[in-house]
Amino acid sequence: MTAVQATFGQRLGEAIDARGPLCVGIDPHPALLHAWGLEETPAALERFAMTVLEAVAGEVAVLKPQSAFFEAYGSRGIAVLERVVAEARQAGALVIHDVKRGDIGSTMTAYANAYLDENSPLSADAITVSPYLGYGSLAPALGIAAQSGRGVFVLARTSNPEAVGLQRSSTSEGTTIAQSIVDAAAESNAGASPMGHVGVVAGATIRSGELDLSELNGPVLVPGLGAQGGTVRGLRSVFGSALPHVVPAVARELLRHGPSAEELRSATRRMRDDLSGMTGR
């Protein structure tokens, strides 16, 4: 494995300072393909992804391809995903693979190597992971990420209704499951500057004050703006003092402006500027 000098926290901070905090999701959902006048084929998948890259890769700090929509096309879809990673980097954007992997032992290590090892063709700058086999099960991914200068975003408090019963449940210490994940991530980030390599995922539509992020010392990936009901203005009330570390992720709200690359770029710039003004970056 090849280690890199700059940490993920450093690189993410620099990217946000240069381009603002917006993260654009690349989600080639079948409904979006159809809305763009495309069929559900590998060639259409590639056209969709390359159009998004053409429009926004040079405009935003972070791109977040949803791996499942590429995996659905088998090896040809994975080849498109590899191209997305390569061309996004060439345009200066960081890449977060939205893979939500969560397993134990050697299997978690294999997942981490697939997505975080510099020598892997799918290697991204960060991945999303699920801690619901226990936060300790993520140790291989956390270690490989730290060694290679990459990051992980741990699902903490997602906005889907199915998650409420589990994530708001109380631990034996009296905190919620979601808060216990934030606290564990904070321990992983202790002493890092300007911020650690372990982020959390928290939906834009969660309740204000539901999570205490004051000690996290890491980024907060926030999906749910636009189509899912979250608003730019609402970010301040939900995330408060953690707002400078918030990375809002938007997909459908922007992708609906395709297939015109020009219209997609214009919508992205508007959203980016709105978010930069709200977060003060």
For residue 229, what pLDDT is reported?
A: 74
d(CA 227, CA 72): 23
For residue 210, what pLDDT is reported?
A: 92
pLDDT over 70, % of the chain: 96
Q: Which residues pair with 249 in a beta bridge?
A: 23, 223
Closest C-alpha among 110, 150, 154 to residue 134 = 154
- Average pLDDT (154-161) is 93
As annotated, the active-site residues are 100
Q: Report cis status (omega within 30 of 0) of the bond before 65.
A: no
The CA-to-CA distance between both ends of the chain, in Å, stands at 34
d(CA 271, CA 132): 33
Give the tens place of pLDDT for each residue, 122-139: 999 999 999 999 999 999
**In this structure, what is the dihedral angle of CA atoms 58, 59, 62, 66, given to the nearest 10 degrees?**
-80
For residue 3, what pLDDT is reported?
A: 47
Do the Cβ atoms of 137 and 104 come closer than 8 Å? yes
| Pairing between β-strand 23-26 and β-strand 62-65 as defined by DSSP bridges | parallel
Give the tens place of pLDDT for each residue, 27-37: 999 999 999 99
- Average pLDDT (149-171) is 94
d(CA 51, CA 263): 11
Phi and psi (nearest 5°) for 151? -130, 170
User: What is the identity of the amino acid at 117?
Assistant: D
Q: Which residues pair with 128 in a beta bridge?
A: 153
pLDDT at residue 181 above 50?
Answer: yes
Count other Cβ atoms within 10 Å, centred on residue 236: 15
- Average pLDDT (267-272) is 95
pLDDT tier, 2 (very low <50, low <70, confident <90, very high otherwise): very low
pLDDT at residue 279 above 70?
Answer: no
Q: For residue 193, what are the contacts with CB-CB under 8 A and spacing of at least 6?
A: 9
- Show the beta-strand stretches assigned E in 130-173: 151-157
Closest C-alpha among 174, 173, 182 to residue 155 = 182
Q: What is the mean pLDDT of the chain?
A: 94
Domains and their CATH numbers in the chain: 8-205+219-279 (3.20.20.70)
Q: What is the pTM of this model?
A: 0.95
Q: For residue 134, what are the contacts with CB-CB under 8 A and spacing of at least 6?
A: none
d(CA 18, CA 211): 28
* Residue indicated by tokens 């975080």: 116
Count other Cβ atoms within 10 Å, centred on residue 280: 8
